[in-house]
């Protein structure tokens, strides 16, 4: 790390990584999330028959270095690079917040929802929860993120009974 960044302090390195992550987020947001047709891919709400990818055309995002022209690539974050005896992914343990990424609607107390995922069918069914989880784990795999967090009510609908 010292050879690439000189004697930059940890805070400066973190700022670079955050900036490159924001650029990556903007590039992902600029692309279509999923052009799949919910009627053709999901079947009915009672079964989780979604087939194929939720984010088609987006391959696993890899480190390609600061000179990469590919918008969906890591420029500064190299998960496998060893820094002071630990891999970069062990220093910066990123996670996906399930609520904010897959459950929240993008609304706030003063406005309506601003996002809607194509695989959502409007139900609060178990099949919908399973479909949402499949999309979530595909997203994590493509980003190369190993951790996630959630609220208990995010991942499953209320049942009629505790069982």
Tokens of residue 158, six digits: 């209320």
Q: How far apart are CA 120 and CA 141, in angstroms?
A: 20
Is-catalytic flag, 100?
A: no
Strand 86-87 with 95-97, pairing: unpaired
In this structure, the number of other CB atoms found within 10 A of the CB of residue 72 comes to 19
Q: How far apart are CA 124 and CA 115, in angstroms?
A: 17
60 HSE (CA, 13 A, CB side) = 7
Which of the following is catalytic: 151, 159, 160, 162?
151
Tokens of residue 112, six digits: 């309506």
CB contact set of 129 (below 8 Å; sequence gap of 6+): 155, 156, 157
Residues catalogued as catalytic: 151
């Amino acid at each position: 790390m010292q050879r690439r960044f000189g004697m930059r302090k940890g805070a400066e390195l973190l700022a670079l990584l955050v900036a490159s992550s924001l650029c990556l987020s903007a590039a992902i947001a600029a692309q279509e999330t999923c052009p799949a047709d919910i009627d053709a891919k999901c079947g009915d709400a009672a079964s989780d028959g979604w087939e194929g990818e939720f984010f088609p055309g987006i391959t696993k995002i890899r480190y390609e270095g600061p000179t990469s022209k590919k918008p969906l690539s890591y420029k500064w974050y190299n998960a496998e690079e060893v820094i002071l005896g630990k891999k970069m992914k062990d220093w910066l343990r990123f996670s996906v917040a399930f609520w904010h990424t897959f459950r929240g609607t993008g609304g706030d107390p003063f406005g309506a929802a601003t996002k809607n995922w194509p695989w959502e069918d409007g139900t609060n069914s178990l099949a919908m929860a399973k479909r949402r989880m499949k999309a979530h784990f595909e997203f994590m795999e493509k980003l190369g993120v190993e951790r996630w967090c959630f609220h208990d009510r995010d991942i499953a609908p209320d049942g009629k009974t505790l069982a």
